[in-house]
Amino acid sequence: QKEVEQNSGPLSVPEGAIASLNCTYSDRGSQSFFWYRQYSGKSPELIMSIYSNGDKEDGRFTAQLNKASQYVSLLIRDSQPSDSATYLCAGAGAGSYQLTFGKGTKLSVIP
């Protein structure tokens, strides 16, 4: 059974710090990975996608993928209170369009 594991948190970081969110997955066939942000009472919003090993940067966000270790992470630099939300990690297998979601990590950025 395909699983995506995330630490549920809450993860608390001070404003301006780096928030590090981690995710592991069980399906070695997974090819694509996504980070979504979900504010309370709202639907998920795509932040980043990553398909290749290594780092991918987009503004204050950096996604990291290590397929050998089956590990995906999201770094948020210069964390802001507005980053406080639940972050969902998701993976998709080769040729599959269904996403397997983790349960999410709740991030709190303390002013």
| Residue whose CB is less far from another protein, 53 or 78 | 53
Name the site residues for another protein (rule: CB under 8 A).
Answer: 31-32, 34, 36, 41-46, 49, 51, 88, 90, 92, 96-99, 101-104
CA quadruple 10, 107, 12, 82: dihedral sign = negative
Q: Count the Cβ atoms, other than its own, within 10 Å of residue 73.
A: 19
Residue 83 dihedral angles phi and psi, to the nearest 5°: -80, -10
Exposed / middle / buried, residue 10 (Cβ in 10 Å: 0-12, 13-18, 19+): exposed
Considering the complex, what minimum distance in angstroms separates the CB of residue 19 from another protein?
20
Nearest distance from C-beta of residue 46 to another protein, angstroms: 6
Q: Which is nearer to another protein, 52 or 80 (CB)?
A: 52
Q: At closest approach, how far in Å is the CB of 16 from another protein?
A: 28
